[in-house]
Amino acid sequence: MQVIETIKEMRAVTAKYRTEGKTIGFVPTMGALHEGHMSLVRAARAENDIVIASVFVNPTQFGPNEDYTRYPRTFDEDCELLEREGCGALFFPSPEEMYGMAGSLTWVSVDQLPEHLCGLHRPDHFQGVTTVVAKFFNIVDPHRAYFGQKDYQQSVIIRRMTADLNFPVEIRVMPIVRESDGLALSSRNRYLSADERLKALALVDSLRLAEQLYSQGEKNPAVLTDMMQRSILGGAPNAKIEYIAVVHPDTLEPLKTIKGTAVIALAVVIGTTRLIDNVIIE
């Protein structure tokens, strides 16, 4: 596996692959890789000739009081995992390489979609995400890019940005990978103490409860979110609930009643760790 640190070299490598007629699958990550990331790599391998991953802890998507400096960085372990899964190249740029020594004056932003869910609590987050993903698409020039459903709002925003800016990239959103007890895999799970890890299962329990109520005929989002809140606080009394919402799968607008496909999403802080999760109901 090649490890590439500069934009110039990354462009040269992908240009060579394209000249050879090879399709490129791209898996952007912030490192601290786990089985969820590996599922994206395997999907990319199955659908493309070459897999390129990136490891870049993007400073522009972190707020001033968020965990950029302490975000887990496990580069050697990440390389071992990627190489084991057959990743062809790893793009590992520095912030200075991506944004220049003076930082960026140009931003890519999407209207409306960031005004819901996580965007209400992280106001500049998605501008940082769309900017760096647009830069990656220009640098890596992939045929397909792979994202996880756990970051559902992010996937909707990236799909819209890709369509609006006419990037010739197919966006593939893959299912959430969970641990054996149901907790969604996340790089931030390693922040949780043993006790907090048990309390975090309240998120999964609340989503399962909502699915059960929906299957029994409950179509009122207000009832579902109220029952979910009770469930979370019952399992994790000190949890801070940022939001529980039932939204349209494409617009992310809150629903007053469920008539078709809907997304039930939540963000909850356990201890000092912010966790997100969701389910799609049809």
Per-residue pLDDT of the chain (282 residues; tens, 9 = 90+): 999 999 999 999 999 999 999 999 999 999 999 999 999 999 999 999 999 999 999 999 999 989 999 999 999 999 999 999 999 999 999 999 999 998 899 999 999 999 999 999 999 999 999 999 999 999 999 999 999 999 999 999 999 999 999 999 999 999 999 999 999 999 999 999 999 999 999 999 999 999 999 999 999 999 999 999 999 999 999 999 999 999 999 999 999 999 999 999 999 999 999 999 999 999
Residues classed as catalytic:
37
CA-to-CA distance for 161 and 110, rounded, in angstroms? Answer: 7
> Would you list the DSSP string of 196-212?
HHHHTHHHHHHHHHHHH
Question: pTM for the whole thing?
Answer: 0.97
Same-domain status, 62 and 195 = no
Count of domains forming the chain: 2
CATH number at residue 217: 3.30.1300.10
User: Could you tell me if residue 69 is inside a domain?
Assistant: yes
Task: For residue 7, list its beta bridge partners.
Answer: none
Same-domain status, 158 and 208 = no
> Would you list the DSSP string of the chain?
-EEE--HHHHHHHHHHHHHTT--EEEEEE-S---HHHHHHHHHHHHH-SEEEEEE---GGGS-TTSSTTTS---HHHHHHHHHHTT--EEE---HHHHH-TT--S-----SSGGGSGGGGTSTTHHHHHHHHHHHHHHHH--SEEEEEGGGHHHHHHHHHHHHHTT---EEEEEPPPB-TTSPBP-GGGGG--HHHHHHTHHHHHHHHHHHHHHHTT---HHHHHHHHHHHHHHH-TT-EEEEEEEE-TTT-PBPSS--S-EEEEEEEEETTEEEEEEEEE-
User: Could you tell me if residue 240 is inside a domain?
Assistant: yes
Between helix 125-140 and helix 7-19 the angle, nearest 10°, is 50
Between helix 201-215 and helix 221-235 the angle, nearest 10°, is 150
CA-to-CA distance for 201 and 139, rounded, in angstroms? Answer: 39
Residue numbers of the domain that contains 89: 2-174
Q: What angle do CA 196, 182, 63 make, to 5 degrees?
A: 55
pLDDT score at 252: 98
User: Could you tell me if residue 103 is inside a domain?
Assistant: yes
pLDDT score at 35: 98
CB 26 within 8 A of CB 52: yes
Same-domain status, 265 and 170 = no
Extract the tokens encoding 22.
């090879």
Same-domain status, 165 and 224 = no
pLDDT score at 66: 95
